A and B are shown apart, each in its own frame.
Chain A
Amino acid sequence: MHELGITRNIVSIVTEKAQGEQVRRVTIEIGKLSAVLPEAIRFCFDIVSQGTVVEGAELEILEISGTAECRTCGSQFELEQLYGRCPCGSADITRLTGEELFIKQMVTA
Protein backbone atom coordinates (compact mmCIF):
# COMPACT_ATOMS: atom_id res chain seq x y z
CA MET A 1 0.00 0.00 0.00
CA HIS A 2 2.65 2.50 -1.10
CA GLU A 3 -0.15 4.69 -2.46
CA LEU A 4 -0.60 6.13 1.02
CA GLY A 5 2.99 7.36 1.14
CA ILE A 6 2.75 8.60 -2.44
CA THR A 7 -0.43 10.53 -1.69
CA ARG A 8 1.19 12.11 1.35
CA ASN A 9 3.91 13.36 -0.98
CA ILE A 10 1.32 14.82 -3.37
CA VAL A 11 -0.53 16.66 -0.62
CA SER A 12 2.72 17.85 0.95
CA ILE A 13 4.07 19.31 -2.32
CA VAL A 14 0.77 20.92 -3.26
CA THR A 15 0.27 22.40 0.21
CA GLU A 16 3.74 23.91 0.11
CA LYS A 17 3.15 25.44 -3.33
CA ALA A 18 -0.29 26.76 -2.39
CA GLN A 19 1.16 29.07 0.29
CA GLY A 20 -2.05 29.10 2.29
CA GLU A 21 -4.44 29.44 -0.66
CA GLN A 22 -7.32 27.00 -0.88
CA VAL A 23 -6.73 24.43 -3.62
CA ARG A 24 -9.63 23.58 -5.92
CA ARG A 25 -8.08 21.04 -8.25
CA VAL A 26 -4.88 19.01 -8.48
CA THR A 27 -3.74 17.39 -11.73
CA ILE A 28 -1.30 14.50 -11.64
CA GLU A 29 0.10 12.05 -14.18
CA ILE A 30 0.31 8.36 -13.37
CA GLY A 31 1.93 6.00 -15.84
CA LYS A 32 0.15 2.72 -16.44
CA LEU A 33 3.43 0.87 -15.84
CA SER A 34 4.23 2.66 -12.58
CA ALA A 35 2.77 0.08 -10.13
CA VAL A 36 0.61 2.81 -8.63
CA LEU A 37 -3.15 2.36 -8.63
CA PRO A 38 -5.11 5.53 -9.45
CA GLU A 39 -8.12 4.33 -7.45
CA ALA A 40 -5.99 3.77 -4.37
CA ILE A 41 -4.54 7.29 -4.78
CA ARG A 42 -8.06 8.74 -4.94
CA PHE A 43 -9.04 6.83 -1.82
CA CYS A 44 -6.00 8.07 0.09
CA PHE A 45 -6.24 11.63 -1.28
CA ASP A 46 -9.52 12.42 0.48
CA ILE A 47 -8.17 11.14 3.78
CA VAL A 48 -4.67 12.61 3.61
CA SER A 49 -5.90 16.05 2.51
CA GLN A 50 -8.20 16.47 5.49
CA GLY A 51 -7.35 19.53 7.53
CA THR A 52 -5.11 20.99 4.79
CA VAL A 53 -5.74 23.61 2.10
CA VAL A 54 -6.13 20.70 -0.30
CA GLU A 55 -9.19 19.30 1.50
CA GLY A 56 -12.15 19.03 -0.85
CA ALA A 57 -10.05 19.58 -3.98
CA GLU A 58 -10.83 17.62 -7.11
CA LEU A 59 -8.10 15.16 -8.08
CA GLU A 60 -7.59 14.84 -11.81
CA ILE A 61 -5.51 11.81 -12.79
CA LEU A 62 -4.08 11.59 -16.30
CA GLU A 63 -3.14 7.99 -17.02
CA ILE A 64 -0.19 7.67 -19.38
CA SER A 65 0.09 4.60 -21.60
CA GLY A 66 3.31 2.65 -21.84
CA THR A 67 5.51 2.95 -24.91
CA ALA A 68 8.98 1.68 -25.66
CA GLU A 69 11.69 1.84 -28.28
CA CYS A 70 13.60 -1.21 -29.44
CA ARG A 71 17.38 -0.90 -29.09
CA THR A 72 17.87 -3.55 -31.75
CA CYS A 73 15.70 -2.34 -34.64
CA GLY A 74 14.76 1.16 -33.45
CA SER A 75 10.99 0.85 -33.83
CA GLN A 76 8.56 2.24 -31.26
CA PHE A 77 5.65 0.22 -29.88
CA GLU A 78 3.10 0.10 -27.05
CA LEU A 79 3.85 -1.68 -23.80
CA GLU A 80 1.05 -3.24 -21.75
CA GLN A 81 3.39 -4.28 -18.95
CA LEU A 82 6.73 -3.11 -17.62
CA TYR A 83 8.54 -5.68 -19.71
CA GLY A 84 7.94 -6.90 -23.23
CA ARG A 85 9.43 -7.73 -26.56
CA CYS A 86 9.58 -5.66 -29.70
CA PRO A 87 7.68 -7.19 -32.63
CA CYS A 88 11.16 -7.98 -34.01
CA GLY A 89 11.70 -10.34 -31.06
CA SER A 90 14.25 -8.33 -29.06
CA ALA A 91 13.73 -7.81 -25.31
CA ASP A 92 16.38 -5.10 -25.27
CA ILE A 93 14.05 -2.11 -25.06
CA THR A 94 14.03 1.41 -23.66
CA ARG A 95 10.81 2.43 -21.95
CA LEU A 96 9.73 5.86 -23.18
CA THR A 97 6.48 6.50 -21.30
CA GLY A 98 4.26 4.82 -18.74
CA GLU A 99 6.36 5.19 -15.59
CA GLU A 100 5.29 8.77 -14.77
CA LEU A 101 4.54 9.82 -11.20
CA PHE A 102 4.24 13.53 -11.70
CA ILE A 103 2.31 16.52 -10.37
CA LYS A 104 1.34 18.74 -13.29
CA GLN A 105 -0.54 21.65 -11.81
CA MET A 106 -3.12 22.89 -9.35
CA VAL A 107 -5.96 25.36 -9.48
CA THR A 108 -6.27 27.59 -6.46
CA ALA A 109 -9.59 29.00 -5.34
Chain B
Amino acid sequence: MCTTCGCSDTANPRVTNLKPGHTGETVHTRFDHSHPHDDHHHHDHDHRHEHGTTVPIEQPILAKNDRLAERNRGWFLGRNIVALNLVSSPGSGKTTLLERTIQDLKHDINISVIEGDQETLFDAERIRKTGCPVVQINTGAGCHLEADMLARGLETLQPPSNSLVLIENVGNLVCPALFDLGEHAKVVILSVTEGEDKPLKYPHMFKNASMMILNKIDLLPHLTFAVSKCLEFAHLVNPGLQVIQVSATTGEGLHNWYDWVTSQIKLSKQQGVR
Protein backbone atom coordinates (compact mmCIF):
# COMPACT_ATOMS: atom_id res chain seq x y z
CA MET B 1 0.00 0.00 0.00
CA CYS B 2 1.17 3.49 -0.78
CA THR B 3 2.36 5.43 2.28
CA THR B 4 1.57 8.79 0.67
CA CYS B 5 -2.05 8.43 -0.27
CA GLY B 6 -2.95 5.05 1.21
CA CYS B 7 -4.17 3.70 -2.09
CA SER B 8 -3.61 0.13 -3.10
CA ASP B 9 -3.52 0.84 -6.79
CA THR B 10 -1.18 -1.68 -8.36
CA ALA B 11 -1.73 -0.64 -11.96
CA ASN B 12 0.36 2.52 -11.68
CA PRO B 13 4.12 2.75 -11.19
CA ARG B 14 5.46 2.81 -7.62
CA VAL B 15 8.88 3.60 -6.18
CA THR B 16 10.15 1.71 -3.13
CA ASN B 17 13.18 2.85 -1.15
CA LEU B 18 15.37 -0.02 0.05
CA LYS B 19 18.43 2.06 0.86
CA PRO B 20 20.10 1.32 4.21
CA GLY B 21 18.06 2.85 7.05
CA HIS B 22 14.81 2.59 5.12
CA THR B 23 12.22 -0.09 5.71
CA GLY B 24 11.01 -0.32 2.16
CA GLU B 25 8.37 2.39 2.16
CA THR B 26 6.44 2.65 -1.06
CA VAL B 27 5.51 5.94 -2.62
CA HIS B 28 2.75 6.04 -5.14
CA THR B 29 3.93 8.48 -7.72
CA ARG B 30 1.72 10.03 -10.32
CA PHE B 31 4.19 9.81 -13.14
CA ASP B 32 1.91 11.58 -15.55
CA HIS B 33 2.10 14.80 -13.55
CA SER B 34 5.18 14.44 -11.43
CA HIS B 35 7.63 16.74 -13.15
CA PRO B 36 7.65 20.36 -12.18
CA HIS B 37 9.73 21.31 -15.19
CA ASP B 38 7.80 19.46 -17.83
CA ASP B 39 7.89 21.06 -21.17
CA HIS B 40 4.51 22.71 -20.98
CA HIS B 41 4.77 25.17 -23.74
CA HIS B 42 2.73 28.22 -23.00
CA HIS B 43 2.12 30.34 -26.03
CA ASP B 44 1.97 34.01 -25.32
CA HIS B 45 0.15 34.74 -28.49
CA ASP B 46 -3.48 33.83 -28.87
CA HIS B 47 -3.87 31.37 -31.66
CA ARG B 48 -7.15 29.61 -31.43
CA HIS B 49 -7.65 27.20 -34.25
CA GLU B 50 -10.37 27.82 -36.73
CA HIS B 51 -13.19 25.35 -37.04
CA GLY B 52 -12.40 22.33 -39.17
CA THR B 53 -8.84 23.43 -39.71
CA THR B 54 -5.86 21.18 -40.18
CA VAL B 55 -3.24 21.87 -37.56
CA PRO B 56 0.29 20.58 -38.25
CA ILE B 57 1.91 18.91 -35.25
CA GLU B 58 5.07 17.34 -36.75
CA GLN B 59 6.35 15.88 -33.52
CA PRO B 60 7.82 12.50 -32.58
CA ILE B 61 5.34 10.50 -30.52
CA LEU B 62 7.99 9.80 -27.90
CA ALA B 63 9.16 13.43 -27.79
CA LYS B 64 8.21 13.83 -24.15
CA ASN B 65 10.06 10.72 -23.04
CA ASP B 66 13.05 11.75 -25.14
CA ARG B 67 13.12 15.21 -23.52
CA LEU B 68 12.99 13.72 -20.05
CA ALA B 69 15.69 11.22 -21.04
CA GLU B 70 17.88 14.11 -22.17
CA ARG B 71 17.32 15.74 -18.79
CA ASN B 72 18.37 12.54 -17.04
CA ARG B 73 21.43 12.41 -19.28
CA GLY B 74 22.39 15.94 -18.27
CA TRP B 75 21.75 15.10 -14.63
CA PHE B 76 24.15 12.14 -14.88
CA LEU B 77 26.74 14.13 -16.80
CA GLY B 78 26.70 16.98 -14.28
CA ARG B 79 27.45 14.51 -11.47
CA ASN B 80 29.87 12.39 -13.47
CA ILE B 81 27.63 9.37 -12.98
CA VAL B 82 27.71 6.51 -15.46
CA ALA B 83 24.30 4.86 -15.85
CA LEU B 84 23.96 1.51 -17.58
CA ASN B 85 20.53 0.23 -18.66
CA LEU B 86 20.51 -3.56 -18.35
CA VAL B 87 17.89 -5.20 -20.56
CA SER B 88 17.01 -8.83 -21.28
CA SER B 89 14.20 -11.34 -21.29
CA PRO B 90 13.11 -12.67 -17.89
CA GLY B 91 15.46 -15.29 -16.46
CA SER B 92 18.65 -14.34 -18.32
CA GLY B 93 20.51 -13.86 -15.05
CA LYS B 94 20.49 -10.05 -14.82
CA THR B 95 20.06 -9.95 -11.07
CA THR B 96 22.75 -12.59 -10.49
CA LEU B 97 25.11 -10.64 -12.73
CA LEU B 98 24.32 -7.48 -10.74
CA GLU B 99 24.90 -9.20 -7.39
CA ARG B 100 28.22 -10.57 -8.54
CA THR B 101 29.30 -7.26 -10.11
CA ILE B 102 28.50 -5.35 -6.92
CA GLN B 103 30.38 -7.89 -4.75
CA ASP B 104 33.45 -7.75 -6.98
CA LEU B 105 33.57 -4.00 -7.69
CA LYS B 106 32.11 -2.35 -4.60
CA HIS B 107 35.49 -1.66 -3.04
CA ASP B 108 36.67 0.20 -6.14
CA ILE B 109 33.51 1.82 -7.48
CA ASN B 110 30.57 3.49 -5.74
CA ILE B 111 27.56 1.56 -7.10
CA SER B 112 23.82 1.99 -6.62
CA VAL B 113 20.95 0.22 -8.31
CA ILE B 114 17.51 0.96 -9.73
CA GLU B 115 15.43 -2.19 -10.03
CA GLY B 116 12.53 -2.30 -12.47
CA ASP B 117 9.90 -5.03 -12.26
CA GLN B 118 6.18 -5.17 -12.86
CA GLU B 119 5.58 -6.43 -9.34
CA THR B 120 7.36 -7.51 -6.12
CA LEU B 121 10.45 -6.28 -4.29
CA PHE B 122 12.24 -9.63 -4.68
CA ASP B 123 15.09 -8.39 -6.88
CA ALA B 124 15.67 -5.26 -4.80
CA GLU B 125 15.82 -7.42 -1.66
CA ARG B 126 18.54 -9.51 -3.31
CA ILE B 127 20.54 -6.39 -4.19
CA ARG B 128 20.05 -4.95 -0.71
CA LYS B 129 21.73 -8.02 0.77
CA THR B 130 24.94 -7.01 -1.03
CA GLY B 131 24.91 -3.76 0.99
CA CYS B 132 24.30 -1.66 -2.13
CA PRO B 133 21.76 1.21 -2.07
CA VAL B 134 18.77 0.16 -4.16
CA VAL B 135 15.40 1.58 -5.15
CA GLN B 136 12.70 -0.59 -6.66
CA ILE B 137 10.37 0.76 -9.32
CA ASN B 138 7.28 -1.37 -9.89
CA THR B 139 5.73 -0.51 -13.21
CA GLY B 140 2.33 -2.07 -12.48
CA ALA B 141 0.55 -2.37 -15.82
CA GLY B 142 3.67 -1.12 -17.64
CA CYS B 143 6.13 -3.45 -19.30
CA HIS B 144 9.22 -1.20 -19.30
CA LEU B 145 10.83 1.73 -17.51
CA GLU B 146 10.30 5.22 -18.93
CA ALA B 147 12.46 8.30 -18.43
CA ASP B 148 10.11 9.93 -15.91
CA MET B 149 10.03 6.76 -13.80
CA LEU B 150 13.82 6.73 -13.73
CA ALA B 151 13.88 10.42 -12.73
CA ARG B 152 11.58 9.61 -9.82
CA GLY B 153 13.71 6.63 -8.84
CA LEU B 154 16.84 8.80 -8.90
CA GLU B 155 15.20 11.40 -6.66
CA THR B 156 14.78 8.66 -4.07
CA LEU B 157 18.08 6.89 -4.71
CA GLN B 158 20.20 10.08 -4.66
CA PRO B 159 23.30 8.44 -6.12
CA PRO B 160 26.52 10.32 -5.20
CA SER B 161 28.70 12.08 -7.75
CA ASN B 162 31.43 10.04 -9.47
CA SER B 163 29.48 6.82 -9.16
CA LEU B 164 27.95 4.02 -11.20
CA VAL B 165 24.18 3.52 -11.44
CA LEU B 166 23.04 0.14 -12.71
CA ILE B 167 19.45 0.12 -13.95
CA GLU B 168 17.84 -3.31 -14.18
CA ASN B 169 14.99 -2.79 -16.61
CA VAL B 170 11.84 -4.91 -16.65
CA GLY B 171 12.56 -8.36 -18.11
CA ASN B 172 11.24 -7.88 -21.63
CA LEU B 173 13.10 -7.84 -24.94
CA VAL B 174 10.59 -5.70 -26.81
CA CYS B 175 9.32 -2.60 -25.04
CA PRO B 176 12.40 -1.29 -23.16
CA ALA B 177 14.15 -0.91 -26.54
CA LEU B 178 11.91 2.00 -27.51
CA PHE B 179 12.29 4.09 -24.38
CA ASP B 180 15.47 6.07 -23.86
CA LEU B 181 16.12 6.59 -20.16
CA GLY B 182 19.09 8.92 -20.59
CA GLU B 183 21.50 6.10 -19.84
CA HIS B 184 25.12 6.03 -20.91
CA ALA B 185 24.63 2.70 -22.71
CA LYS B 186 22.21 -0.19 -23.03
CA VAL B 187 23.63 -3.57 -22.11
CA VAL B 188 21.62 -6.52 -23.41
CA ILE B 189 22.02 -9.80 -21.57
CA LEU B 190 21.30 -13.05 -23.39
CA SER B 191 21.70 -16.43 -21.74
CA VAL B 192 22.73 -19.50 -23.68
CA THR B 193 19.63 -21.35 -22.45
CA GLU B 194 17.45 -19.05 -24.56
CA GLY B 195 18.34 -19.96 -28.15
CA GLU B 196 20.81 -18.36 -30.52
CA ASP B 197 18.15 -16.72 -32.71
CA LYS B 198 17.02 -14.15 -30.11
CA PRO B 199 18.90 -11.26 -31.81
CA LEU B 200 16.84 -11.83 -34.96
CA LYS B 201 13.58 -12.38 -33.10
CA TYR B 202 13.97 -9.19 -31.05
CA PRO B 203 16.17 -7.04 -33.30
CA HIS B 204 15.26 -3.65 -31.78
CA MET B 205 16.85 -4.47 -28.48
CA PHE B 206 20.06 -5.77 -30.03
CA LYS B 207 20.21 -2.85 -32.45
CA ASN B 208 19.98 -0.29 -29.67
CA ALA B 209 22.47 -1.92 -27.30
CA SER B 210 26.18 -1.07 -27.14
CA MET B 211 27.17 -4.24 -25.32
CA MET B 212 25.85 -7.79 -25.31
CA ILE B 213 26.63 -10.11 -22.45
CA LEU B 214 26.29 -13.77 -23.30
CA ASN B 215 25.59 -15.30 -19.89
CA LYS B 216 25.52 -18.82 -18.41
CA ILE B 217 28.34 -20.04 -20.67
CA ASP B 218 29.18 -22.65 -18.00
CA LEU B 219 26.09 -24.51 -19.28
CA LEU B 220 27.30 -24.68 -22.91
CA PRO B 221 28.56 -28.30 -22.65
CA HIS B 222 24.99 -29.39 -21.84
CA LEU B 223 23.29 -27.46 -24.65
CA THR B 224 23.20 -27.30 -28.44
CA PHE B 225 23.57 -23.50 -28.40
CA ALA B 226 25.84 -22.38 -31.27
CA VAL B 227 27.78 -19.36 -30.01
CA SER B 228 29.16 -18.44 -33.45
CA LYS B 229 25.65 -18.50 -34.96
CA CYS B 230 24.35 -16.27 -32.17
CA LEU B 231 27.15 -13.75 -32.68
CA GLU B 232 26.57 -13.77 -36.43
CA PHE B 233 22.88 -12.96 -35.88
CA ALA B 234 23.71 -10.26 -33.34
CA HIS B 235 26.15 -8.58 -35.71
CA LEU B 236 23.73 -8.80 -38.60
CA VAL B 237 21.36 -6.64 -36.55
CA ASN B 238 24.06 -4.43 -35.06
CA PRO B 239 27.51 -4.65 -36.70
CA GLY B 240 29.08 -2.49 -33.97
CA LEU B 241 27.77 -4.51 -31.01
CA GLN B 242 30.47 -5.50 -28.53
CA VAL B 243 30.14 -8.97 -27.00
CA ILE B 244 31.46 -10.45 -23.77
CA GLN B 245 30.90 -14.08 -22.80
CA VAL B 246 30.49 -14.74 -19.09
CA SER B 247 29.11 -16.99 -16.41
CA ALA B 248 27.81 -14.86 -13.56
CA THR B 249 27.67 -18.04 -11.47
CA THR B 250 31.23 -19.33 -11.92
CA GLY B 251 32.79 -15.92 -12.60
CA GLU B 252 34.24 -16.97 -15.96
CA GLY B 253 34.81 -14.00 -18.28
CA LEU B 254 33.60 -11.44 -15.73
CA HIS B 255 36.95 -9.61 -15.71
CA ASN B 256 36.21 -8.55 -19.31
CA TRP B 257 32.87 -7.12 -18.20
CA TYR B 258 34.52 -5.28 -15.31
CA ASP B 259 37.20 -3.90 -17.65
CA TRP B 260 34.46 -2.60 -19.94
CA VAL B 261 32.53 -0.98 -17.06
CA THR B 262 35.74 0.64 -15.83
CA SER B 263 36.53 1.90 -19.33
CA GLN B 264 33.05 3.48 -19.56
CA ILE B 265 33.66 5.33 -16.30
CA LYS B 266 37.03 6.60 -17.56
CA LEU B 267 35.45 7.66 -20.84
CA SER B 268 32.72 9.55 -19.02
CA LYS B 269 35.30 11.36 -16.87
CA GLN B 270 37.13 12.50 -19.98
CA GLN B 271 33.89 13.75 -21.51
CA GLY B 272 33.06 15.58 -18.29
CA VAL B 273 36.45 17.32 -18.30
CA ARG B 274 35.99 18.32 -21.92
Contacts and interface: CB of A to CB of B under 8 A. Distances in A.
- Whether both chains belong to one complex is answered with yes
Contacts of A4: 141-142
Contacts of B141: 4
B57 A91 contact: no
B107 interface: no
Contacts of B62: 6, 9, 101
B55 A106 contact: yes
Given A6-B61, A13-B57, A104-B57, A91 B235 contact: yes
Contacts of B54: 105-107
A14 interface: yes
Interface in A39-96: 81-83, 85, 91-92
Contacts, number: 100
Interface size class of B (residues with CB under 8 A): 35 or more
Most chain A beta-carbon neighbours within 10 Å: one of B57, B143, B237: B57
A92 B236 CA distance: 8
Nearest to B142: A5
5 contacts: A9-B62, A17-B55, A19-B49, A83-B207, A104-B56
Given A13-B61, A36-B178, A103-B58, 20 more contacts: A1-B143, A2-B174, A2-B179, A4-B141, A13-B63, A16-B40, A17-B55, A19-B49, A21-B49, A24-B52, A83-B203, A91-B239, A92-B239, A101-B62, A102-B58, A102-B59, A104-B58, A107-B55, A108-B49, A108-B55
